[in-house]
Amino acid sequence: MATLPAPLNAPVRTLLGPGPSDIHPRVLAAMAQPTVGHLDPEYLRVMDELQSMLREVFRTKNRMTMAISGTGSAGQEAMVLNVVEPGEAVLVCINGVFGNRLADMAGRAGGQVTKLERPWGEVFEPAEVKEALARVKPKVVAMVMAETSTGAWQPVEEIAAAAREAGAMLILDTVTALGGIPVEIDKWQVDAVYSGSQKCLGCPPGLAPISLSDRAVEKILARREKVRSWYLDVSLLASYWGSDRVYHHTAPINMTYALHEALRLVLEEGLEECFARHRRNHLALRAGLAAIGIDYATQAGHELPQLNAVRVPEGVDDVAVRKKLLERFGIEIGAGLGVFKGKVWRIGLMGYSSRESNVLVLLAALEQLLAEQGHTFSPGAAVAAANEMYRSPI
């Protein structure tokens, strides 16, 4: 090597996009703890505690609850590859990017996929899902609870009950949901659920919490064909995460420390208090945006508090605003994807990023940048509206 690169000096950003979110200093400190072996008794104790805390956050007693070594997409693929057997009918509900990804994965797993689609930003009604269940007679249903590409919050309980009544297993995506809104795996009788560490849990990307019902585990263990991934085969991972602790792979030790501390923070705050904080900051952001003429792209009444998909105002340069937010204010927000590209901003208020100070600074910065582009509004209106919301009981 002719010249040695300069030492790493990562910029300080305020992460208000679709993920990753800001990382709490305690989580970063946990990552700096000494690395031990992946079968060290101390690490196995951390794994046990991690599983216990994941059960609390998922609100489940499922024995098969653990963190896949990989991002949320690894958890997604693990659930699909394990639950879907080749030749099985699979119904996938699609109203955004990640529903499409579920369909792609189910097809790669050998499933016979039927897509049930809604326009981006909308959610599914139980009646249309029930009709599709009767028509397709699927063995597996897959859907996204919190669609990161559209900010849509999909009600789950009635659809989960319909899937079970139809004899189908439900795979549920909670990547952007877990820790930000209630996730009730046992109450809803969800068979397979996955999430990610980098959203509302406020941890760096790299681990994917999952949980499987006993019914799902029985199906996996009785498969006629091996899972089409050695690394993501739950029957093998269970021996490592279970009492036997049989070596499977070298786990990301320090990422486990990080998720352990992130879960401690969520449970220390309290789940209900955590959900209330996300909602309060969402309502303040919403009020501020409305005051400067910015509305939501998501179906009314189904907006996620932690992921706000809002329309770029007419005549405003989407890319220029996002670029200047980053360069001048150190704030990252997300661009629209797919049919929302160039039309929507995705503003994340997830985990440690969901703070009053972040909402107010973002609104003030947006006011300045929008005014520079000729967007008309009453100066100071966004911050004033947000502050008024913060003064109101919620």
Phi, psi values for residue 121, rounded to 5°: 95, -15
pLDDT band at 97; cut points 50, 70, 90? very high
Q: What is the mean pLDDT of residues 264-286?
A: 98
Share of the chain above pLDDT 70, in %: 99
Q: Is 13 exposed, middle or buried (0-12, 13-18, 19+ CB in 10 A)?
A: middle
CB 316 within 8 A of CB 357: no
Q: What is the DSSP string of 294-360?
A: --BSSPTT-B-SSEEEEEPPTT--HHHHHHHHHHHH-EE-EEP-GGGTTTEEEEE--GGG--HHHHH
CA distances from 170 to 9, 105, 215, 220, 276 (A): 44, 15, 11, 14, 28
Q: What is the mean pLDDT of residues 54-66?
A: 98
- Distance, CA of 206 to CA of 73 (rounded, Å): 10
User: What does the pLDDT look like over 184-221, one tens digit per residue?
Assistant: 999 999 999 999 999 999 999 999 999 999 999 999 99
More confident residue, 379 or 1: 379
Distance of CA 299 to the CA centre of its chain: 19
All structural domains of the chain = 25-267 (3.40.640.10), 270-391 (3.90.1150.10)
Share of the chain above pLDDT 90, in %: 95
User: What does the pLDDT look like over 1-38, one tens digit per residue?
Assistant: 679 999 999 999 999 999 999 999 999 999 999 999 99
Answer yes or no: is pLDDT of 48 > 70: yes
- Looking from the CA of 162 toward its CB, the CA atoms found within 13 Å total 21
Q: What is the DSSP string of 49-80?
A: HHHHHHHHHHT---SEEEEEES-HHHHHHHHH
Instruction: Give the pLDDT score at 247.
Output: 86
User: What does the pLDDT look like over 294-309, one tens digit per residue?
Assistant: 999 999 999 999 999 9
CB 114 within 8 A of CB 99: no
- Distance, CA of 347 to CA of 392 (rounded, Å): 23
Nearest to 313 by CA among 368, 384, 373: 373
Nearest to 333 by CA among 304, 312, 313, 316: 312
Q: What is the mean pLDDT of residues 358-379?
A: 97
Nearest to 309 by CA among 334, 330, 291, 277: 334
- In sequence order, the β-bridge partners of residue 91 are 114, 141
- In sequence order, the β-bridge partners of residue 147 are 152
Answer yes or no: is pLDDT of 158 > 90: yes
Instruction: Give the pLDDT score at 46.
Output: 96
Q: What is the mean pLDDT of residues 359-366?
A: 98
Run of H or E including 82: helix 72-83
Q: What is the mean pLDDT of the chain?
A: 97
- Distance, CA of 159 to CA of 318 (rounded, Å): 36
Instruction: Give the pLDDT score at 1.
Output: 63
**Reduced to 3 states, what is the DSSP secondary structure of residue 89?**
strand
Answer yes or no: is pLDDT of 394 > 80: no
- In sequence order, the β-bridge partners of residue 143 are 172
User: What does the pLDDT look like over 310-349, one tens digit per residue?
Assistant: 999 999 999 999 999 999 999 999 999 999 999 999 999 9
Q: What is the mean pLDDT of residues 251-257?
A: 97
